Amino acid sequence: MGLVGRVSAAAILLAVAGGAAFWLLTTPHPLDGGEIAALGTGDSARGEKVFNAGGCSSCHARPKSEGAARLQLVGGVELNTPFGTFVAPNISQDPRDGIGLWSLEDFANAMLRGVSPGSEHYYPAFPYSSYARMAPGDVADLYSYMKTLPAIAGAAPDHRLGFPFNIRRGLGLWKLLHLGGEPVITLADDASEAVRRGRYLVEGPGHCGECHTPRDLSGGVKKGEWLAGAVAAEGTGNIPNITSGDGGIGAWSAEEIAFFLESGFTPDFDSAGGAMAEVIKNTALLAPEDRAAIAAYLKAVPPRPNGYPAAAKPAS
């Protein structure tokens, strides 16, 4: 074999090895048997509380839904990002267009691993990188509650993504960087139960960091700037800094934070708008002690300066 032949053969072998490595590294990893067993059977009454903490209606109900319509999880909300347009799917109990045929195992794999029943990766616009911190029992409870909700026919449109973001398999590499169940903020050994509960709610089902934390070029949250605020995912406006750092909510008392989560009113009598107004519809349904726990945790988060660029000064 001549030099050209040997070089060609070596290139082919490298390409095959690279392809095999990519395939192995990007393989979806569903829950194992022990993790499935830890889910338990679930309780729908507890699951309703998890549903409200997770704010499922904010993305999966029709926009501007009120009352009972917020439980019709037909999907369709669009998130326009630099990676493309993501569309929230139908997660009602409809057996064809929704998740009515999903088992608890299917549901838990989606929530905790971002893996579909067909063993494909979900895009992290579905915030499973936060849900991965949830207790297995809470996932089972949420599944039980969602089984009580109505089946609504109608498939949501597909995501609209260009190359290479339309290659789902590549999300396995993203997960290697960003998917894990460990807490973001390490608390002191003597941290109160309220602060610990608040950390769980904020970092897990509440997925507050998904909007309030800046992201790197891969789209993963910058944990070193946790809750410091961020440019909105859709590229217009900023999501506020909710730490006690400059530009944040350090002047708010824990009681004022809890009241905001219930009423939507800030200490200076402004009111929540935009996407946060939808979030308040969910946090208002939480138990008072859970809103107090969220407030206690936010007061314990290390202060950070704003995680988004300062507005440019006008030319003089």
Q: What is the pLDDT of residues 124-171, one digit of tens each?
A: 999 999 999 999 999 999 999 999 999 999 999 999 999 989 999 999
Q: How confident is the model at residue 20 (pLDDT cuts 50, 70, 90)?
A: low
Same domain as 281, residue 158: no
Question: How far is the C-alpha of 108 from the C-alpha of 143, rounded, in Å?
Answer: 8
Whose CA is closest to 307, among 251, 224, 235?
224
Q: Domain end: 182, 212, 236, which one? A: 182
Evaluate if residue 28 carries a pLDDT over 60. Answer: yes
Q: How confident is the model at residue 313 (pLDDT cuts 50, 70, 90)?
A: very low
DSSP state for residue 78 in the 8-state scheme: E
Whose CA is closest to 295, among 181, 189, 208?
208
Mean pLDDT in the chain? Answer: 91
| C-beta separation of 159 from 87 below 8 A | yes
What pLDDT is stored for residue 233 in this prediction?
78
Count of domains forming the chain:
2
Query: Could you tell me if residue 26 is inside a domain?
Result: no
Query: Could you tell me if residue 89 is inside a domain?
Result: yes
Percentage above 90 pLDDT, the chain: 78
What pLDDT is stored for residue 26 in this prediction?
79
| C-beta separation of 234 from 81 below 8 A | yes
Q: How many residues does the chain have?
A: 316
| C-beta separation of 246 from 307 below 8 A | no
Evaluate if residue 88 carries a pLDDT over 60. Answer: yes
What pLDDT is stored for residue 90 in this prediction?
97
Same domain as 111, residue 196: no
Q: What is the pLDDT of residues 4-16, one digit of tens each?
A: 666 666 666 666 6
Query: Could you tell me if residue 68 is inside a domain?
Result: yes
Whose CA is closest to 99, among 63, 149, 141?
149
Does the reported pTM lie above 0.75? yes
Same domain as 140, residue 102: yes
DSSP state for residue 195 in the 8-state scheme: H
What pLDDT is stored for residue 235 in this prediction?
62
What pLDDT is stored for residue 314 in this prediction?
38
Q: What is the pLDDT of residues 97-130, one digit of tens each?
A: 999 999 999 999 999 999 999 999 999 999 999 9
Same domain as 206, residue 302: yes
Question: How far is the C-alpha of 276 from the C-alpha of 295, rounded, in Å?
Answer: 16
Same domain as 164, residue 41: yes
Q: What is the pLDDT of residues 201-226, one digit of tens each?
A: 999 999 999 999 999 999 999 999 99
